[in-house]
Structure 1
């Protein structure tokens, strides 16, 4: 089942609150007391250094997020650039790191819960661990039944937390005493050398900003808003930590600061007696809200990472089985929940272990993400087109790697060993399972393979040793998705898809969207599959047979949806389709473009899209009108595929402008055809009205392939659309080709 449409409805403020809300739960409510015992008052500098390291990494996260806003975040970038071995390390590391972080947040919840009500210990578990187990179990159940998390809710939570902390800061500053801050031993009683070990302890406080990149597809203007949100949230939280921790240590002497509920203790000391009780209750409620929000968000993020790994066959899709009633990946959530419970029970009496283990695993992932950015840049990956680029490249990603890995030296032996177990486990899992199943070779491995003659044998040998047993294609296997709607057009659409997949060396995914009435739940519809889907199964069986004519792999899928046609684009995003083929009746064209009117103003296409208006489909004689527009490359690609797959005869048409000679038009067309692999095509140059010329040339053709218009929505509403007229007013079948490209709102409106 594919996801609901990801509308671009998150603004800059909502995006920043996602990052701030995840970070703020641990940084200020849980760790100051523990960190102060480890470093003294200079722990304030530890928080600032942690923010600097996070900021350097935030630049790289921003570039990667604007270049390829994919589900899975860091795992996706590492797997795509460095290959599935490092992808396994990043994916498993991120997953385990989130489990450690969730256990840490749950312990924080238990610490503050214990200040409100007495909780009995049980066996070897303390009262805090019992409270944490109750909380962790509740968070897992919330994700199991699929309670939704939205930017609006997160904004309210963060606003409330900032208000609470703001009131504390004002009152705390009025009660601040520098002598209390410095104490008898000065600002650095353990020496300046305690700063970096303190940073290693508190770095878990900065893990939330990368989550913003996972919702990049939902951001308005992500090229601008994503970097501002990621970098801005780190900057705001770093300043907030420095101010609040300084105030806490200036209100309560650092040796006396509580390791369980430090902010509650500082609030009680800062507020006058008449207001202290109310203030403590409000702050404790804020702490419970913050730690609960962070824990819940971490569990939710872990499920998304598992989906991304399952899609690439790094882990078995058994893990991502969807619950028939709740439509959640219940097995993944239960496995994650079980690990959280074990971590709370086994390690919950030493919160440093949980926080440092979460930090170590995430630092490894951050280092790999910086390496992935360099690989994307140096290999000139065609799909890598960031709207934001890191300053001072390559120094910034190199610094990100050095700082992330360098901080590991100050973590401690226990936590390094514990984290190493999971990293080694990920490597073992890759060679035991993932290497046999995943088909995708990373860009780095392909780069080495392409230059094996000039590289040392040891480098080439190492790359081949860890390469997947699958195809080893640098871009994976291209997927051509077909959206089928009825048997009449099935063969035509599968011919186009099969020919294109064969030309690309890819596979075909044939889908049939079955629309379920809003009054019927999808779960109820799924229970009646035999009656509801018989027609669908027959349609997809025919599709398999037609695709096999082209000797390409074909997968078929029926998707139940309330959205109907709107689900097509969602499914293309869900399955990472390279090309989508569908019939004109299901396209809802808006004046010569594939999107509907509202979609055109707010969304970008998920991939290349081909829309067929079929009239007795015959791909034997193809006419390709072109003026060199942005979608003409796709039109040429399809024409070449049909030429090679079904021996189609291709004619290319150019309509010269009023002030352009036929010779100039022929020169342009000859160069364009040669550049696009169509030098053997018949070249036609006409002058006059474009629509008339296309209609006249199409009289002797059976299929017209035409690129989508670049005109804006309002201009086409006023003047009409050439593309729609061609689609509807000629006798031949017409295929509209559109390649996605970025357009501002002004361009979408006015062209």
Structure 2
């Protein structure tokens, strides 16, 4: 049959041609449809073989899948992330699918952690921070026991809701390095993820400065009471700036050394921190061992004293009026360590399992302590005390109740000469001293050691976590000029450039030198960050996104009900 004749052949409207994947060549060299018994192609609208030959070939499995993957498992299809960000080669190195690239990329031992040491321990260290030792007693003196517990519960309610939302996002897909930023950006898109990542980077940089300032304040108090008022410049803000700068450099050096050393140091600090708290509880039940301790306000457990310390007694502090929400702003950073484990998601063996388990466990553990300690302080410590041992002894057998002893009034402090806007102040008591826990403990130096452990461990966690969030943010090129921070070094791809930027931000905050000011600033950043996390979880559940399939469903359900 000639080609001209083939072009004019008309097919009967009722005829059907059975075809498979294409056309076969016949004995005469012409193409004819391949026939299969299991596939029928409707041709009633086909007018000629020429029209049929120009139709697009039917799909084949071999076009969409590497058949060799059935044998060796290496033909994994790239994800949309890999295609958009050109990270297929990087993923092959990570998974070992590219042997040559993997061999070239091995530069050391890769450290991966489970939920206990990777999340639970880090969150404990970050939550039991500077505020535990330096501001809980002051909060009790200002707000009273009832309001102090209310502040603790409110602050923890915020972090619990945020953790539930974070856990829902964490179980929505595969998690890599980048912490909260990576989870949000891959689940809900870069609009949410970029803003949260930037906010968390700044918040953690300020947090590192907050903890270091707390360390400096505790160290200066130690020098004052144990080394005869030893000081470098003025014993105040300038000493804080100098010691804080040196401490920040040391913490930065430890972070650059590597995650393995960070974990070893933090494990030791955790045991020291727990030991300090046990020392405090034992000291409370032992009561004051000397008249000197009693004259400074520590009178031992007493139900009537607890009743007297139940209500608030707000007083100006450093020239600033105080109230419920100002106290809340100072205390809130004490519970903001919930992302310490999530920020290191790239260093976890199973982030989707470790993040919910470790973070929630740490929150409930620390919540119990933050409720018990204000009660113990309110039942054992006077709001004001002059520390005059002779005055205390002279009146201890005269007055019917120990709080009627004049040593526990501001009038007895006139000889000290310490005033705030002309108002006489005592040196001791929950209203005036930040070393109440040291006074109430069985062995004071251990409390200082615990405070040092809490502040330094929290500073390390913040300084290590913030650059990793920034690194993941920089890789996605969401903001101009930050791609340089995506580069890492070593087997764990440590973000050295990010460390330098976080160091600069933290140093600027250390120069402020006032713990209350910096902690209030930190509260604003963390509250904004937590709001974004909760809203992103609520948004995903509200619009019923097809890609929103969290394994931890309590989080998005609770966030939806609350918001």
Is 2:154 the partner of 1:29? no
Q: Determine whether 1:282 maps to 2:394.
A: no
Aligned partners of 2:106 and 2:466: how far apart in 1? Answer: 18
State the Cα deviation string for residues 34-57 of structure 1 (Å, max 9, x = none).
434542333233122211221122
Match of 1:62 in 2: 167
Is 1:198 aligned to 2:310, yes or no?
A: no
Distance 1:132 1:182, change over 3 A: farther
Structure 1 residues 329 and 229, CA, compared in 2 at 3 Å: closer, same or farther? closer
User: 2 CA distance for matches of 1:313 and 1:30?
Assistant: 41
Aligned residue in 1 for 2:497: 331
**Matched residue of 1:189: which SS?**
coil
Farther-moved stretch of structure 1 (122-131 vs 170-179): 122-131
What is the Cα deviation at residue 9 of structure 1?
A: 4.3
Contact conserved, 2:167 with 2:355, CA < 8 A, in 1? Answer: yes
The answer on 1:87 being equivalent to 2:250 is: no
CA distance in 2, matches of 1:62, 1:341: 32
Q: 1:375 to 1:60 in 2, by over 3 A?
A: same
Is 1:369 aligned with 2:533?
yes
Q: 1:260 to 1:211 in 2, by over 3 A?
A: farther
Check 1:299–1:217 CA distance in 2 against 1; reply closer, same or farther (3 A cut): closer
Conservation of the 8 A alpha-carbon contact between 2:179 and 2:346: no
Give the deviation of 1:361 after TM superposition: 1.0
Distance 1:259 1:319 in 2: 45
Cα distance in 1 between the residues matched to 2:485 and 2:150? 42
- The 1:40/1:171 distance shift into structure 2, 3 A limit, reads same
Match of 1:10 in 2: 114
Q: Is the 8 Å Cα contact of residues 251 and 270 (structure 1) preserved in structure 2?
A: no
* Distance in 1 of aligned mates of 2:364 and 2:523: 19
Give the superposition deviation at 1:382: 5.7
Among 385, 388, 396, the alignment partner of 2:559 is 396
Query: Secondary structure of 2:129's match?
Result: helix
Residue 288 of structure 1, CA deviation: 0.8
- Say if 2:343 and 2:466, in contact at 8 Å, map to a contact too: no
Matches within 5 A, 1:643-662: none
The equivalences for 1:439-450 within 5 A come to: none
User: Structure 1's 361 and 55: CA in aligned 2 closer, same or farther, altered over 3 A?
Assistant: same
Of 99, 114, 117, the match for 2:205 = 99
Gaps of 5+ in 1: 272-278, 403-751
Gap change, CA 1:136 and 1:249, over 3 Å in 2: farther
Deviation at 1:89, TM superposition (A): 2.7
Tell me how far apart the structure 1 counterparts of residues 554 and 186 of structure 2 sit (CA, whole Å): 19
Residues in 2 aligned to 1:321 and 1:303: alpha-carbon distance in whole angstroms: 11
Distance 2:126 2:133 in 1: 12
**TM-superposed deviation, 1:295:** 0.4
Provide closer, same or farther for how the CA distance between residues 388 and 323 of structure 1 changes in structure 2, counting only shifts above 3 A: closer
Q: Secondary structure at the match of 1:126?
A: helix
Determine which of 147, 159, 163 is the counterpart of 2:271. 159
Match of 1:129 among 234, 241, 253: 241
Q: SS at 2:554's partner residue?
A: coil
Q: Matched residues in 2 for 1:190 and 1:112: separation?
A: 24
**8 Å Cα contact 1:88/1:314 also seen in 2:** yes
Q: Give aligned pairs, total.
A: 387
Q: TM-score, normalised by structure 1?
A: 0.47
Structure 1 counterpart of 2:475: 311
User: 2:513 pairs with 332, 348, 368, which one?
Assistant: 348
Seen in structure 2, the aligned counterparts of structure 1 residues 387 and 12 have a Cα distance that, compared at 3 Å, is farther
CA distance in 2, matches of 1:388, 1:180: 45
Summarize the Cα distance change of 1:339–1:324 in structure 2 as closer, same or farther, 3 Å threshold: same
Tell me how far apart the structure 2 counterparts of residues 2 and 254 of structure 1 sit (CA, whole Å). Answer: 60
Q: Which runs of 5+ in 2 are unaligned?
A: 1-104, 224-229, 288-300, 316-321, 385-427
Q: TM-score, normalised by structure 2?
A: 0.61
Deviation per residue, 1:65-112 (Å, 9 max, x gap)? 222423222223443455444434322211111121111100111012
Matches within 5 A, 1:564-603: none
Corresponding residue for 2:153? 48
Query: Secondary structure of 1:229's partner?
Result: helix
Structure 2 SS opposite 1:227: helix
Given the superposition, is the C-alpha separation of residues 336 and 219 from structure 1 closer, same or farther in structure 2, using an over 3 Å criterion? closer
Bigger shift: residues 81-90 or 127-136: 81-90
**Aligned-pair CA distance for 1:270:** 4.6
Change (3 A) 1:4 1:179: farther
If asked which structure has higher relative contact order (CA below 8 Å, sep 6+), I would say 2
Taking the TM superposition and a 5 Å limit, the aligned residue runs for 1:674-693 are none
Structure number with larger C-alpha Rg: 2
Query: Does the C-alpha gap of structure 1 residues 397 and 99 become closer, same or farther in structure 2, counting only changes over 3 Å?
Result: farther
**C-alpha contact (below 8 Å) 2:212/2:455 kept by paired residues:** yes
Matches within 5 A, 1:631-642: none
Report if aligned partners of 1:306, 1:332 keep a CA contact under 8 Å in 2: yes
Q: Which residue of 249, 253, 256 corresponds with 2:382?
A: 253
Q: Distance in 2 between matches of 1:6 and 1:384?
A: 31
- 1:265 matches 2:468: no
Q: How far 1:157 moved relative to its partner?
A: 2.7
Measured after TM superposition, the shift of residue 234 of structure 1 is: 0.6
Q: Does 1:207 align with 2:311?
A: no
In the alignment, what sits opposite 1:609? none
Counterpart CA distance in 1 for 2:337 and 2:106 is 26
Shift of 1:261: 7.1
Q: Kindly indicate whether residue 484 of structure 2 is the aligned counterpart of residue 359 of structure 1.
A: no
Cα distance 1:198–1:156, how it changes in 2: closer, same or farther (>3 A)? same
Measured in 2, the distance between the counterparts of 1:343 and 1:47 equals: 25
Q: Distance in 1 between matches of 2:431 and 2:484?
A: 41
Given that 1:17 and 1:158 are in contact with CA atoms closer than 8 Å, whether structure 2 keeps it comes out as yes
Q: Distance in 2 between matches of 1:216 and 1:146?
A: 15
Q: State the SS of the aligned residue for 1:35.
A: helix
Q: Equivalent residue of 1:67, what SS? A: coil
Describe how 1:612-623 pairs up with structure 2 within 5 A.
none
More strand by share: 1
Question: How much has 1:301 moved relative to structure 2?
Answer: 0.6
- After superposition, what is the alpha-carbon deviation per residue over 1:19-38, rounded to whole angstroms, capped at 9, x for unaligned? 11111023312322443454
What value does the CA root-mean-square deviation take over the aligned residues?
3.4
Contact kept, 8 Å, 2:275 with 2:450, in 1: the verdict is no
Cα distance per residue 1:177-208 (max 9 Å; x no partner)? 3444444x7423359x9544433321111111
Q: Distance in 1 between matches of 2:502 and 2:268?
A: 27
- Asked whether 1:295 is paired with 2:459, we answer yes
User: Is this contact kept in 2: 1:61–1:210, CA < 8 A?
Assistant: no
Distance apart, 1:365 and its partner CA = 1.3
Give SS of 1:246's match: helix
CA 209–5 in structure 1, closer or farther in 2 if over 3 Å, else same: farther
